Amino acid sequence: MTTPEAPYARLTPDRMLDALESVGLRGDGRFIALNSYENRVYQASLEDGRTVVAKFYRPGRWSDRQILEEHAFVADLAGREMPVVAPIALGEPGRTLAAFEGYRFAVYPRRGGRAPELDDPDTLERIGRFIGRIHAVGAVGRFAERPALDVDTFGREPRDWLLAHDRIPADLLAAWTGIVDQALEAIRKAFDRVGELRIQKLHGDCHAGNVLWTDDGPHFVDFDDARNGPAVQDLWMLLSGDRASMTRQLSDVLAGYEDFADLDRRELQLIEPLRTLRLIHYSAWIARRWDDPAFPAAFPWFGTQRYWQDRVLELREQVAAMQEPALVA
């Protein structure tokens, strides 16, 4: 069995290829490890000429039912001719999750593409149009097995975990604890001001890296972080720069989005609170994975004095940003 200290220690290239062969996908020996930290993802060439992407799930993160719930959502979207990449059947119709020697995996068709040009209004409008279509389906119901994105799951719980595991340097502990508590209080007040919102199925991690652009437009990949949450979660990560820039970008995205879905404009008050939750969650995410050898190699600066000093400054800036009026499109 895999261990918490080295979750992928036994996932050798041979074992990855054997796993594919166990579901009738015989590789020709050519494969490329793709950039992924949470899971292990490989592009593999098959003897029948196809190229597929195999995703081996991090042990212990999602249950089988949670993974299959994501697969069902993406398959529903694909069935409605939306530009998403759904897992293929493995060995038998309808089976999209397989296991091999302790590792669970899914296989996807390879889809190429490039990063979208988010400074182009037409690109943002087209992306917004497809997110609107995704949300029109996601608004029909909620995930039954997957958790929600809220103040507790992305804010308080990560904060408590970091403190319980002594991840903050002693001389910065008071400063970090003080500002993170101040940030969480500001986030809570923002959600209280907005009031009850429609919570729905989301992509959950809809940043530019998960949108691949082709001559035919965008397609959306990696629904691994799909959750229940407010619709604006899938929009704010497309915005960057100063307030004027984000206002223009938001208007461009919504010009396409609202062709297919209505955005409750109260949710615009949650853009900076959601950004702040992501920052808190991100630090805990790296810390929780530190026993995976890939993480110290990828994030050598994590845990240093400078890292936590920067996080304190970052959260102070976010507390100030949350006091500003919401963006208006």
Residue 292 annotated among the catalytic residues of the structure: no
Decide: pTM greater than 0.85: yes
Question: Catalytic one among 205, 224, 234, 292?
Answer: 205
Residue 205 annotated among the catalytic residues of the structure: yes
Q: pLDDT averaged over the chain?
A: 95
Q: Are residues 166 and 22 in the same domain?
A: no
pLDDT > 60? residue 274: yes
Are 206 and 220 within 8 A, CB to CB?
A: yes
Predicted pLDDT at 54: 98
Q: Are residues 132 and 40 in the same domain?
A: no
Q: Are residues 80 and 221 in the same domain?
A: no
Question: pLDDT band at 224, cuts 50/70/90?
Answer: very high
Q: Are residues 150 and 262 in the same domain?
A: yes
Task: Give the end of a domain, one of 78, 109, 140.
Answer: 109
Give the mean pLDDT of 200-226. 94
Q: Are residues 197 and 256 in the same domain?
A: yes
Q: Are residues 89 and 141 in the same domain?
A: no
pLDDT 10s digits, 48-95: 999 999 999 999 999 999 999 999 999 999 999 999 999 999 988 889
Task: Give the end of a domain, one of 77, 109, 141.
Answer: 109
More confident residue, 218 or 156: 156
Q: Are residues 49 and 133 in the same domain?
A: no
Question: pLDDT band at 1, cuts 50/70/90?
Answer: very low
CATH assignment of the domain containing 201: 1.10.510.10
Domain count, the chain: 2
pLDDT > 80? residue 4: no
Q: Are residues 78 and 131 in the same domain?
A: no
Question: Catalytic one among 222, 224, 234, 252?
Answer: 222
pLDDT 10s digits, 85-144: 999 999 888 899 999 999 999 999 998 889 999 999 999 999 999 999 999 999 999 999
Q: Note every long-range contact of 114-122, with CB atoms under 8 Å and residues 24 or more positions apart, other chains counting.
A: 114/212, 114/213, 114/214, 115/208, 115/209, 115/211, 115/212, 115/213, 116/208, 116/211, 116/212, 116/213, 116/218, 117/213, 118/208, 118/238, 118/240, 118/249, 121/248, 121/252
Q: Are residues 48 and 92 in the same domain?
A: yes
CATH assignment of the domain containing 65: 3.30.200.70
Give the mean pLDDT of 296-302. 95
Task: Give the end of a domain, one of 109, 130, 164.
Answer: 109
Predicted pLDDT at 217: 87
pLDDT > 50? residue 145: yes
Note whether residue 329 is domain-resident: no
Predicted pLDDT at 5: 52
Note whether residue 227 is domain-resident: yes
* Domain of residue 161, residue span: 121-321
Note whether residue 88 is domain-resident: yes
